[in-house]
Structure 1
């Protein structure tokens, strides 16, 4: 079997999604040495094959799309809740204008019942859609994301320092 550009593309794509080169060599019936040579050649040209790179990009894309969808759903839920609250406010105003009283225990009780029902429905919808219900929850999630990014940057910095020290050690020995 010839190692065509099409096969090379397929092998590279599968490798970048996380599959092992040994397994791919067996599947495509191409010597592992040949695949490694193509991989090395691509690296020298400045287009390295990076294992799991596509799955990471896909995950990041999914997270971004998921956040956008959650924001859109949250906006719709908030619009419905605001609409319900405005209706409740109008109903209270109408009922007080009819009774011509300053305060009515029955109207207040029914308004509180309806308000608690609206709040429960909104909280339930947000929990179903996995949307943080309060600003504090949103801030905690954002804080955790920032801490995660900071840890990634620290890891990359330490990795670069380690690589540089290894290179310096190799230069001193050689």
Structure 2
């Protein structure tokens, strides 16, 4: 398979992942999510081992200051993540930010998936999202610039944009 075909397939994977994030973001804008945000964090804290209790109590005490703000911030971050994935905008920064955000969701909202609690049946989706972001970063880095991205359009006009957008920018700049 040639590089161009592989780059297009990776772009399709990125776009499909963006659709998933778009659906998730849409659900975060629902009033029910905003009303239940604090209780979701509280629920994730239940059943955690004592050595993790400080993390959940700290997060809960900060979120308690303005739960609506944190719920809306979550919706904004997920919406921007979806747009970035769909459009292929600032992919290097977006993949890293998405990975970090996914780990935060996995840790705080999903309680690390709770695999150590009785009756646990999975490890949560946040960790899987983090792995997909890492995979997209690695795949983009291996293949090079994405043909189906806003980044490619911007980079044609402003070459330095690749430093923000392309996971592989350093390698390609050295070759040029």
Whether these two folds match at TM > 0.5 is: no
TM-score, length basis structure 1: 0.32
Q: Which structure would you say has the larger RCO, counting Cα contacts within 8 Å and 6 or more residues apart?
A: 2
Q: Quick check: which has more Rg, 1 or 2?
A: 1
TM-score, length basis structure 2: 0.31
